[in-house]
Each structure stands twice: as C-alpha cells, then as structure tokens.
A and B are shown apart, each in its own frame.
Chain A
Amino acid sequence: MSKKQIIQSDMSSLLSAEEIAEIDAELAHVPYKSGAAIDALKIVQAKRGWVSDECLRGIARHLEMSDEELEGVATFYNLIYRRPVGEKVILFCDSVSCWISGCDDIKTAISQRLGIDYGETTSDNSYTLLPVPCLGACDRAPVMMIGDELVTHIDDEKVTALFGKAIRRAEE
C-alpha cells in the first residue's frame, strides 16, 4: 500500500460507515463526486450537529476534493455549522417585518434570559442563538425557529414560558 492510500483510508475512517453509506447513496444522483458536497456536509451535520475540521477533511477525501474547495462550500451556507452548536439551534428572524413588530427587544430579552448573544451557546449546551433571514411567516411576526419548531407571535410571555426553565437548569 502506498503512503498516499494509507492517508486516504485514514481520513475516510473519520466518517462512520453509516455516513459513508448515506453519502454514497447521494453519489448515484450526481455525475461527479464533488456534486454531492452539500449533501455530504448535511449528512454529517445531521448526525453530529456540526461539521468539524476532521469531518470536513474526511468528506473532502471521500469526494476527491481539496479541503479548501470543500471549506469554501461549507462556509458559504448559513445552515452548515463549522463550530459546535447546542442541542437546539434558535434561528431568530431579524428581517424587516419581524423588526417592525419589535423583534429587537425580544432578541434582547432572549439574550438576557439565556445569557448568550448571536453565535453563542448556553453553558448547559441546550441552545445556540443565530439570526436568520425572513422565515416566510411575516404575517405571524415576530417569529423564530427552535430546532425544527416554528414559534410565532413571540412576546415576553412566550419568552418566559419557553426559556424560563432553560435558565434555571443552567444555574443549577
């Protein structure tokens, strides 16, 4: 076995067999391997919550891309996370209709309650807070997503109901 091949298999082993199988299934739909780059990033992120440097290198080797090229793809997209995130990501809409409906104050309230700003994760690892462009629910503004759930008409009461518990848990 040449040295190059050893490195290659080492890198691929950074991905689980399950991840590799799912990525290979995507390869059937694309004419060349790098065409599955975004799908592969999403597959790994779905399992691990985010895409670490090691995983990125593993995917790049598997798809026969350079690390830099794949990094260029990964960092382009808002929903590919290159840093660890909490158990749930809060995607907080800061676009125009939610802004008119007072989302700035609500964001401040959430930040205070959870003790985190945009891009940060609570100390108990339950939430990461990120801004997101218009969630297409402007008639129910202000809105956010907590994990897969859309929360509409957010007000102080809802913030307390949703995150009152979270902060107590963090303090315990």
Chain B
Amino acid sequence: MEKVLTRNIGLDQKPTNLQAYEASGGYQGLRKALAELSPKDCQDIVSDSNLRGRGGAGFPTGMKWSFVPADEQCTPGHKYLVCNADEMEPGTFKDRLLMECDPHQLIEGMILAAYTIGADISYIFIRGEYIVATQRLRDALQECYAAGLLGNNILGSSFSLDMYVHPSAGRYICGEETALINALEGKRANPRAKPPFPQVSGLWGRPTIVNNVETLCNIPHIIDRGADWYKTLGIGEDAGTKLFGVSGKVNNPGCWELPMGTPIREIIEEHAGGMQEGYQLKGFLPGGGSTDFLTSDHLDLAMDYNVIGAAGSRMGTGTMIILDDRTCPVAMVLNLIRFFAHESCGFCTPCRDGLPWSRQVLQDIEEGRGQPEDLETLAYQVSYIGAIGNTHCALAPGAMEPLQSALKYFYDDFKQHISNGRCPYH
C-alpha cells in the first residue's frame, strides 16, 4: 500500500525538516493551490474527496468547511482555523506521531484549510504534555516564516496567515471543540451551547473551524493529487487512509497507516502481531475509551465508519484497546469511568454527579460489595446519562459507551463479581 500520511515517518521517528519535507514533495499542494486554485476550487476538491473528520465523530470535512460564511455574508474581521491537537482520549496515540515526526505536513494542511475558508489566524491547540511535538512544531513554524510560507503574502500571493502553537493547561474536555474555543479565550473549558455553531460564531465570536490533526494532515495530499486519487485509497466504503493503532496485550503494540476499510483482524493479527502468549482476546474498544466494546465475533468487520456503527460501536479515533481474557472487564470499565468522572467539566448534573455515582457502583462491584440490584442501577445510569440530549455535551454519553456494551457482552462477569463477593480475576 502507498503510504501517504506517514511517508516521511521512518522507524527511527526522526522529525522531517523543511528541506526534507519539500524534497519529498511537500508544499506542492500549497504551491498548486496558490497558483491555480481558488478557495472555492479547494473547497470542492475536499468535499469531493469524501474525507471525514478523524477527531472521533467522522463529520465530512468539506461539508463542515462549507458552513463558514463568505466575507460578504459576515461583518468584517478575523476568521480562525484551529487544529485540535489535544489528544486525551484514553488509548489514543496517533496525532502525537504525526506532529512529532512530520510537523510540516500538518502546517501545510492548516495553511490550505485556512486558504479555503478564508482564515487569517490559526492556532494549534496542543496538550501541554506534548513537549517534543510542541518544540518541533515551533521549529517548523520558524522555518516557514523564514521561507515565506507563513506571514504576509505567502509565496508572493495575496494570501496571508499567521499560525501559533498554543499548549493547553490540561483537561480532557478541552478536546471538545467549543470547550477548546473557551480555553483559547482564557476561560474555563465548559462546552458552549450549539447553535450558534463555531463555523459561524466561534473564537471571539468569529467564524472558526476546528479540525483534528490527522484530518488536516490529509489535506495537502488531497489538493496535490485530487479527490479521485484519494477515494481509491480506501478499500471499503470510506475514502483515504487512516492511522490505526492497537494497545493492550498484543505482541507488537503500535500505530500504522492503512487503507480505510482494513479488516479489524488484519490490524490486530498481522500488524499488532496477535495476542501475547497466554492471553486471548476477550473484547476490544475499536476507537478509544469512549467507544462501545466489540468482541471476537466482530474481527472480520472493516474499519469503516458505517460498518463499525452498524455493529453498535464507533470508529472513534481508530486506535483500539484490547481486553484480554486475564483482565477484568469490570475493572477496565471502572478505570475508564474514573477517568471520565474526573474529567467531567461539571457544567451539567447528569455528568457531574452521575459519573461519580457510576464509578462508585462499579467500585463496589469490583471490590466485592456489589448487590444484585446494582446491575439495574448501572442499566438505569446508561439509559439516562447515555441519552443524547440529557447532557450538555458528548462526554457523558461517550463515557457510557464502554459501560453499556460491557453490560451487554460481559454480563456474566458482573454477575459473578456479585455472587462470589469478589473479583474472579484476582
């Protein structure tokens, strides 16, 4: 398979500087766009490519961009492009690789996205712990300013753009795009009510697009080589390639660029080298900590948004977490719910008070104090906290996904904890 997003990422994971990036065809897409393509042309190419957002929700990127009002349709002022590099979803480790090893690819994608939507200021909102990525992005930005790739009149064109790296002060909810905007404004990162959508009224009340790192890294290639080429990269329903990852008790945990639609079995058995000796696969979260468990019955499914959705889970970030047969599913869900309860922003009651309640019930069950009625309580929590519309944002429903599917697939494990009065796994 042709490597696209990771073509400059070798085994040594050394960063690619400007010279090396350009030698591998970098900034060709940008040169082409500024010389030959109008923003509208770029918008059409990205829409035609069927690129879907890689931040977790899979929203079509072209459609998202099309909601930004044209200059004539809004009051004069700035428009913003923000790269969501918060990557705090448990089990997710793909954006780090893209930023540490090929920072210019992200920057080129951002310049092209900004050109398309008419943004003049852009931010990379990166989690504070990503020290190496932050430094490499800052170095790359400096190279770009020196080479006329950022700043006024980029490459002699009439297009100007400034770009800043903005490290987060740390909180999972900052990854939610409207909470991220509040964090950029120096406030508590509570999500905002929608509408108005950020495309119309985002950062400082101005039109703003927030896209994931991996989404933006696709843009230079789509502009350079076209929508038709991009669509042929996927082997299933969806277009392009994707970074898929596996962690847990496999022989070779890691992250690989593979075609969209790659079967799960191939990812786990070939790329991740299968389960370690003495461990069997019991289940897996296909796309990070806020996706529903799937089981060995689902290994032959393709990693496509709708296929995984039809199986009752989500593609999410595409980085899988494997539950093995020697790890307790109740304790694993407890670990996840503890995270979500801690990271709740506290704005709405079902999440602020409901998640600690779930955590307490799970902890009681795991530590042998569970009662039979606890299972009904958990089911009630799933139906109430998990329902879209009962909470102000998607954090709480996301938290319920691993719990509801664990109750579905590993119900006997929960029951055993309660009837034995102890965790059967240790």
Binding site for B on A (CB under 8 A): 29-31, 34-39, 41-42, 72-73, 76-80, 91, 94-97, 99-101, 132-141, 145, 148, 150
Contact = CB atoms under 8 A, between A and B. Distances in A.
B335 A96 contact: yes
A149 to B, nearest CB: 8
Contacts of A132: 129
Contacts of A141: 247, 253
Given A36-B186, A73-B188, A139 B170 contact: no
B129 A138 contact: no
B253 A139 contact: yes
Interface string B62-91: 000000000000000000000000011111
Nearest to A37: B186
A78 B130 CA distance: 14
Q: Which A-B residue pairs are the 8 nearest by beta carbons?
A: A77-B169, A79-B170, A78-B170, A138-B247, A37-B186, A139-B253, A97-B247, A95-B90
24 contacts: A29-B164, A35-B185, A35-B204, A36-B186, A37-B187, A41-B169, A72-B188, A73-B186, A76-B189, A80-B169, A96-B321, A97-B247, A99-B332, A100-B247, A100-B321, A100-B322, A100-B327, A134-B88, A134-B91, A134-B339, A136-B93, A137-B96, A138-B92, A138-B245
A118 B345 CA distance: 21
Interface residues of B, number: 51
A133 B88 contact: yes
Interface of B: 87-93, 95-96, 127-132, 164, 167-172, 183, 185-189, 204, 245-249, 253-255, 289, 319, 321-324, 327, 332, 335-336, 339, 342-343, 345
B91 A133 contact: no
A99 B335 contact: yes
Nearest to A99: B335
Q: A72, A77, A80 — which one has the most chain B CB atoms within 10 A of its CB?
A: A77
B276 to A, nearest CB: 11
A137 B167 CA distance: 18
B135 to A, nearest CB: 9
A55 B330 CA distance: 44
A96 B90 contact: yes
Given A76-B171, A134-B92, A97 B321 contact: yes
B332 A96 contact: yes
Given A38-B186, A96-B289, A137 B169 contact: no
A80 B186 CA distance: 13
B383 to A, nearest CB: 24
> Which of B88, B93, B132, B319 has the most A CB atoms < 10 Å from its CB?
B93
Contacts of A29: 164
